[in-house]
Amino acid sequence: MAGQHNEHSYHPRGHPVSKQSRGWRIGSTILVIVAFVMGLRALPPIVESVSPPFLTHPLVIKDFIQEYVGARAVRDDVNPYAPIYSLIRDYLGFESYRYLHPTPHPPPTLVLAVPLTFVSYPDAARIWLVVELLSLVASVHLLTGMTRRQPRLWLSLVLSTAALAWFPVRDELMLGQLMLPMLLLLVGSQRLLRDGHDVAAGALIGASLILKPIVWPLLLYFAITRAWRALTSATGVLALGYLLAVWGMGLSSVLFYLTDVLPDAATPFRGSFLNISAWAPGWRFAVGTGSPYHYWVQAPPLIDAPNLGKVLTVGIPLLVLIAGLRWACASRNPERALGILVCVSLLVSPITWLHYLVLLLIPLQQLVKTVVERGFPRSMIYRTIAIVALLLPGSPDGVVRLERFAQTSADIVSVVSWQAFLSMLTLLPTLGVLALAVELGRLPNLAFDARRHALSPNLEHSDDPSTAREPDPVVPSIGR
């Protein structure tokens, strides 16, 4: 009413500018500026990672070498699932004993990498780095467009540079892995799900499963919700990918991957201190920390109970999967279900490395968007900050140094207990992924009618979204 004092000033778009919103904007701006500067500093090492001294160093070889030598083997009609070190020796002419196992990457990925083998390995690594950087910028631009009405390219470039400060993104680029192209495919599927294009969305999800079979819980979600068109599209693209692999490398190599390589791919790494999957806590707690490939951190269990460890190793991921599917189905929102199940997929994967966390840009965008839409509720801001803090791991070298200190310091009475405790610190991101899934799962809904949402002061000013009254959501539906 005119003449009455209002404790809130209003943004032109209709959102109240409260103390929380001003604090959020100031804090987020400072964070982006700091991250942008750190991202600029991270660029030279990323570019240097595709220079010859690093490409052929036996200890810092890029993971991209698996695709390159595997694709060369496909070209030559040789078994691409021979131990990686032997393929490196045969095709690149140097020794590396970092990879004593076959590549765990799927057959379609190796076939799709064949065009890169028509150039030298250094040139192929540089081409792949460009592909990954473009995938990062495109993903950030699409995510920004789902947060802002008019995304700007300069802002996407700034945010993409800032993302380089996050260790998982930096690690992904330096390793030459596959997660950023997967991120782009999943961001595209999120946009299509939001707009109701479930067939195209399913196709992109199927394409992401071709690169790495990580987000398979989405197929269960489609089956449970009877989203048959999305499910058929995803499985159809996945089947086409494996038919392409059979044509490219032969049925015997594909069967060898499915029956021999894939079942044993996680075994050497399940106790690694770098594995942040939900399969890891139970094993480390009751069996111990250690891997023949990551041998520099070994630790005994907190409680020596191998049978209990085996039960927890399977039971924890199973509970996470059931809870995540329940949250996703209850959301009645395929866009938010995708965010929840990305978190769940990372948790239930037997092996999850830090660079896999790149996919969390999807649920993090959803969480930030919800904070803004709900008028910056204080309790939700605090929870978001806590989740982001858990998901900001630096290089695991810090844990290695602490481990060595625990082994050599005479001041520590119980070296064993300290080693076991320190080895659990690398599971903090696991807790962050779980907290992010829980936070998205507890929200009433992300999709609102814009006109009704603007007229909902109870929702705008509520400190806790779980207790706020809101209008009936307009939920985008998936075709049945």
For residue range 365-410, what is the model confidence (pLDDT) as tens digits?
A: 999 988 888 888 888 888 999 999 999 865 555 444 444 444 444 3
More confident call, 447 vs 177: 177
Top pLDDT among 20 and 362 is at 362
- The size of the chain, in residues, is 480
Q: What is the pLDDT of residue 172?
A: 94
Q: Under 8 Å CB-to-CB from 6, ≥6 apart: which residues? A: none
Q: What is the pTM of this model?
A: 0.84
pLDDT at 154 over 50: yes
Q: Are 234 and 206 in contact (CB under 8 A)?
A: yes
* pLDDT for 475: 37
- Nearest 5°: phi and psi at 17? -95, 90
CB contact at 8 A, 362 and 186: yes
**Which band of pLDDT confidence, cut at 50, 70 and 90, is reported for residue 332?**
confident
* pLDDT higher than threshold 50 for residue 12: no
Q: What is the mean pLDDT of residues 1-22?
A: 49
Among the ranges given (262-266, 321-325, 444-448, 474-478), the one the predictor scored with the smallest mean pLDDT = 474-478
Token code pair at residue 95: 């020794």
CA distance linking residue 312 with residue 479, whole number of Å = 38
- Looking at residue 155, its pLDDT comes to 87
Q: Give the model's confidence band at 73: pLDDT under 50 very low, under 70 low, under 90 confident, else very high.
A: very high
Tokens of 407: 């082994």
Q: What is the pLDDT of residue 471?
A: 40
Report d(CA 185, CA 207) in Å as an integer: 7
pLDDT of residue 418: 56
- Mean pLDDT (whole number) for 455-468: 40
- Residues 96-131: b if buried by 16+ CB within 10 A, e if exposed: beebebbbbbbbbbbbbbbebbeeebeebbbebbee
- The C-alpha atoms of residue 469 and residue 378 are separated, in whole angstroms, by 16
Q: How far is CA 171 from the centre of its chain?
A: 12
pLDDT for 52 equals: 80
Which among 264, 265, 313 has a CA at the least distance from the CA of 288? 313
For residue 57, the number of C-alpha atoms closer than 13 Å in the C-beta half-sphere is 11
Q: What is the pLDDT of residue 454?
A: 35
CA 363 to chain centroid: 10
pLDDT at site 97: 67
pLDDT for position 397: 52
Tokens of 342: 């990305």
Residue 422 and residue 402 in contact, taking contact as beta carbons nearer than 8 Å: yes
With 50 as the cut, is the pLDDT of residue 456 above it?
no
45-56 pLDDT, tens digit each: 898 888 887 777
Q: List the one residue out of 161, 136, 132 whose CA is nearest residue 50.
A: 132
> Do residues 393 and 429 make contact, with C-beta atoms less than 8 angstroms apart?
yes
Q: Tell me how far apart the alpha carbons of residues 141 and 147 are, in angstroms, rounded to a whole number.
A: 10
Give yes or no for a contact between 20 and 381, defined as CB atoms under 8 angstroms apart: yes
Query: What local confidence, expressed as pLDDT, does residue 465 receive?
Result: 43
